[in-house]
Structure 1
Amino acid sequence: MILTALIDNTRLDDRTDLAVERGLSFHIKTMGQEILFDAGSSKAFCDNAILLGIKMEDVDVAIISHRHHDHCNGVTHFLDRNSKAQVYFRECTETDYSFKAFGFKSNVGIDKTLLDKDSGRFSFINKTTEIRPNIFIITSLSRKHEQPKGNKYLFTDSGDGCKPDTFDHELLLVIKEDDGLIVFTGCAHSGVLNMIETAIELFPNTRIKAVVGGFHLVGLPLFNSIGGTKRDIEAIGESMLTYPIDKLYTGHCTGMKAYEILKGVLGDSLEYFPTGRRVII
């Protein structure tokens, strides 16, 4: 697999030509398929793709991890550039998504008008589905471990008042190559340990070559605080060490403070994955 970060909150130091935003988008090339996983919040990932030698028109399938704007609003720009790929979301109840803290409230949800654009290009998944050979979208996620503490600022409103977001709009992507799994978490609002647990339950006794994505260990993004305590983050890292995982690549909503804490536990098995970075897994 060749994996490229098209957009993240940060970028490689030597790639000042690349745009950054608080968003996430990866390009995945594996088993003869090109996959877009998440689409950021603007066309920045498309612009970066050109600079990175990636053609959006060649993408075979797109997968959106959840319905927060920083992962999905760029889809409209993807559709402008690609005429063939089906775009997969998790099926869920229509609602509004918001961030609330200390009297401040902002909309963090999908631009619903984009779902009306070329609506035949969208597929909505409500169960574990193998969308292409050895490419799995998983919707039933483990609840064995606690969800991220930063979730407490995130809400939904379906017309009957704000309620805590249960993340029934979040999915997990697992790609099964000949020598192991690659697990894509998006923001891991359901909990990165739960996502890892889900992959292991579905593919027992299978090596996990990499876990890739945000882990949502940030508390208040504006202040780059951590969700919970330092010890909470260390405990997550210690749990990760008990799983058969070769590498973890993260960024975005993990937050730099939490990343440094995890790095202290996980060492070389954990790497940051900024805009412009490309790895072979």
Structure 2
Amino acid sequence: MILTALVDNSRLENRTDLTVERGLSLHVNTGGRQILFDAGSSKAFCDNAAALDIKIQDVDAAVISHRHHDHCNGVTHFLDRNSKAQVYFRECEEKDYCFKAFGFKSDVGIDKDLLVKAKRQLSFVNKTTEILPNVFLVTNLSSRYEQPKGNKYLYADSGQGFNPDTFDHELLMVIKESDGLIVFTGCAHNGVLNMVETAVELFPNTRIKAVVGGFHLVGLPLFNSIGGSKEDIEAIGKSLLTYPIDKLYTGHCTGMKAFGLLKNVLGEKLEHFPTGRSVVI
């Protein structure tokens, strides 16, 4: 697998030509297929793809991890450039989503117009679904571990007022290659440990070559605070060490303070994955 970060909150120091935004978009090349995992919040991932010699029109499928704008609103630009690929969402009740903290409120939800822009290219899954050979989308996520503490600022409204978001709009992508799994978390609002546990339950006794995506360990993004205490973050790192994981590539909503705490626990297993970085897994 060749994995490339098309958009993240930061970029490689030597790639000042690339655009960054508070969002996530990854390009996956595996088994002769190309997959877009998340699409950021604008057309930045498209512009960066061109600069990285990746052709969006050649993507075979797009997967959206959840319905927050920084992962899905770029889909409208994907549809402008690719008329063949299905775009996969988790099926859920239509809701509005917001961030609330200290009297401040901000819309963080999907642009609902994109859901009607090209219906023939949109697919909605409500169970474990193999969308391409050995590419699985999973909606039934483990609840063995606590969800991230940063979730407390995120709310959803289905028409009867805002309540804490249950993240029933989030999915997990697992790709099974001949030598192991690659687990894609998006923002891991359900918890990175729960997502890893889900993959282990689905594919027992299988090596996890990599866990990729945001872990939502940030508290208040504007201040890059951590969600919870130093001990909470370190405990997550220690629990990750109990799983058969070779590498973890993260950025975006993990937050750099939490990244540093995890790095102290996970060492060389954990790597930052900024815009423009490409790795072979």
TM-score strictly above 0.5: yes
Whole-angstrom distance in 1 between the partners of 2:180 and 2:158: 40
TM-score normalized with structure 2 length: 1.00
What does residue range 1-281 of structure 1 map to in structure 2 within 5 Å? 1-281=1-281
Please report how far the alpha carbon of residue 6 of structure 1 lies from its aligned counterpart in structure 2 after TM superposition: 0.0
1:194-241: CA deviations, max 9, x gaps?
A: 000000000000000000000000000000000000000000000000
Whole-angstrom distance in 2 between the partners of 1:161 and 1:97: 11
Please report how far the alpha carbon of residue 54 of structure 1 lies from its aligned counterpart in structure 2 after TM superposition: 0.1
Please report how far the alpha carbon of residue 83 of structure 1 lies from its aligned counterpart in structure 2 after TM superposition: 1.2
| Counterpart residue type for residue 138 of structure 1 | V
SS of aligned partner of 1:144:
coil
Whole-angstrom distance in 2 between the partners of 1:23 and 1:191: 18
Whole-angstrom distance in 2 between the partners of 1:58 and 1:81: 9
SS of aligned partner of 2:113:
helix
SS of aligned partner of 2:193:
helix
Whole-angstrom distance in 1 between the partners of 2:94 and 2:36: 24
| Counterpart residue type for residue 175 of structure 2 | I
Whole-angstrom distance in 2 between the partners of 1:177 and 1:215: 23
Please report how far the alpha carbon of residue 180 of structure 1 lies from its aligned counterpart in structure 2 after TM superposition: 0.2
Please report how far the alpha carbon of residue 118 of structure 1 lies from its aligned counterpart in structure 2 after TM superposition: 1.1
SS of aligned partner of 1:274:
coil
Please report how far the alpha carbon of residue 104 of structure 1 lies from its aligned counterpart in structure 2 after TM superposition: 0.5
TM-score normalized with structure 1 length: 1.00
| Counterpart residue type for residue 197 of structure 1 | E
Whole-angstrom distance in 2 between the partners of 1:30 and 1:126: 24
Please report how far the alpha carbon of residue 63 of structure 1 lies from its aligned counterpart in structure 2 after TM superposition: 0.2
| Counterpart residue type for residue 158 of structure 1 | S
Please report how far the alpha carbon of residue 112 of structure 1 lies from its aligned counterpart in structure 2 after TM superposition: 0.2
Whole-angstrom distance in 2 between the partners of 1:22 and 1:197: 27
Please report how far the alpha carbon of residue 16 of structure 1 lies from its aligned counterpart in structure 2 after TM superposition: 0.3
The percent identity for this pair of structures is 78
Whole-angstrom distance in 1 between the partners of 2:188 and 2:159: 26
SS of aligned partner of 1:112:
coil
1:141-164: CA deviations, max 9, x gaps?
A: 000000000000000011111100
Whole-angstrom distance in 1 between the partners of 2:163 and 2:176: 36
1:113-140: CA deviations, max 9, x gaps?
A: 0111111100000000011110000000
SS of aligned partner of 1:84:
coil
RMSD: 0.3
Unaligned runs of 5+ in 1: none
Whole-angstrom distance in 1 between the partners of 2:263 and 2:59: 33
| Counterpart residue type for residue 146 of structure 1 | E
Whole-angstrom distance in 2 between the partners of 1:267 and 1:132: 34
1:32-70: CA deviations, max 9, x gaps?
A: 100000000000000000000000000000000000000
Whole-angstrom distance in 1 between the partners of 2:158 and 2:209: 39
Whole-angstrom distance in 2 between the partners of 1:26 and 1:159: 33
SS of aligned partner of 2:70:
helix
